[in-house]
Amino acid sequence: MSRETQVLVSDLHSEAWWIRLMDDEVTAEERVRWDAHLAHCTRCQEEWKAMIFADAALRAAPAPEALPVGFTAATVDRIKRQQRLRRLLAFVAGTFIVTLVAMLVLALAGSALGVVEQGFIAVVAGRQALFRSVMHMVLVLFFGWQAILPFVLGLLAVGYLLLMPNGLLFTAALIWLSGHRRAMAPVRS
Amino acid sequence: MEQDFLRLAQRGEEGAINELVETYQQSVFNVCYRMLGQATEAEDATQETLVKALTNLHSYDVERPFKPWLLRIASNECIDRIRRRKNPLSLDALGEDGAWEWKQGDSPNPEAEIVHRERRDEVRAALDALSPQDRAIVTLFYWENLPYTEIEAVTGLSISAIKSRLFRARRTIAGLLMQEDAYV
């Protein structure tokens, strides 16, 4: 067998060649070469016969029976139930997520509002405390004036004694001034 | 037209959902039946596939072809079921009391019916010898007549990988069928 023929036979026994042969993708020239090879290669004859038999058996295999009556309705019914269940689950999951997010937002907002409210309360409470203390002082002065009356009278008396024309301070000032005039007068000869 | 139905179904329109189920249920059942080999389980898998697909339509791009997307869900469902199987016993052959029973066919020609069943069982047995993914490829190629590009969309494999897997699956099936034939 020549070298060229050996290469050819090797090609004709390859899987790639058989795939092309089964798919009927060989050229006319290749087909002639194949027929010539098949005429004397027992191995290929047996394999070719088996492949053709298998191909025919597979193509002629009886078709499965038809689906039972009511299959379509039962399937559509199951699909509808499944879709309803999915929608329900999606709704529940959506509601859960929205509730969770809302709670988180409310918690954060509540915390921020709490700080503002505390400041507001402090301002209001401070003003209220100031108002209360002022009112308390007014009331104490109004109802307890007798308690401070001696001090007021004492203060007025001291002021009178010091500041009136015949008061102590004025008299002392006149004495000091006359003494000072005498001392400053020129010496008479 | 189909895209309109798909858009309506995405909005939950019952009429559109009904139309899509009616249009594709037999194709899905054919794939499930070929892959699972049991009518009862194939019906369950078909319903499961349609429910999964039509309740998840929001994740589907309406501009893309619907059938490969649907068959991809179907073949994944079947592959999962095959992998989950612990007991390969077929419940289809069991009677109400759980005992094996002979099911009488409704064919007017009992001999033809027997030949029909034998051929189906031979192909069934040959398919069972394949991996779940190879079974899906053979099913889509032979019985759904999908081109390689659509099988690629369904399985997620490259076209060269699909061709190679299909060839090896055919070779395995050929070996098994020829063996059966030799005994007969």
Whether A19 sits inside 8 A of B163 (CB atoms) is yes
Instruction: Count interface pairs A-B at CB distance under 8 A.
Output: 103
Q: Are B46 and A77 spatial neighbours (Cβ–Cβ below 8 Å)?
A: no
One-letter identity of residue A117:
E
pLDDT tens-place string over residues A112-128? 777 888 888 888 888 88
What pLDDT does A97 receive?
A: 92
Identify the pLDDT of residue B152: 94
The whole-number pLDDT of residue A170 equals 76
Q: Give chain A positions within 8 Å (CB) of B14.
A: 76, 80
Q: How far is B181 from chain A (nearest CA, A)?
A: 10
Q: Which residue of A has its CA nearest to B34?
A: A64
Mean pLDDT per 10-residue run, chain A (189 residues)?
Answer: 50 87 88 90 90 88 85 93 89 91 86 81 84 84 74 82 74 82 62
* Burial of A97 per CB tally in 10 Å (0-12, 13-18, 19+): exposed
From the list A51, A59, A80, which residue is nearest B142 (CB)? Answer: A59
The confidence score (pLDDT) of residue A169 equals 76
**pLDDT value of residue A74:** 94
Q: What is the pLDDT of residue B104?
A: 47
> CATH top-level class for B2-86+106-183?
mainly alpha
Asked if residue B152 lies in contact with residue B159, where contact means CB atoms within 8 angstroms, the answer is yes
B67 burial via Cβ count (<10 Å: 0-12, 13-18, 19+): middle
Q: For chain A, which residues make up each domain, given as ranges? A: 3-60, 145-189
A74 contacts in B (CB within 8 Å)? 47
> Hey, are the CB atoms on A64 and B39 less than 8 Å from each other?
yes
Q: Which residues contact B96 (CB under 8 A, 6 or more apart)?
A: none
Spell out which residues of chain A touch residue B51, defining contact as CB-CB under 8 Å. 75, 78-79, 82
Mean pLDDT split into 10-residue runs, chain B, 184 residues: 84 89 94 91 95 90 89 94 69 41 50 67 84 92 91 93 94 85 54
> Alpha-carbon distance B37 to B138, whole Å?
14
Domain boundaries, chain B: 2-86+106-183
A43 interfacial to chain B (CB closer than 8 Å): no
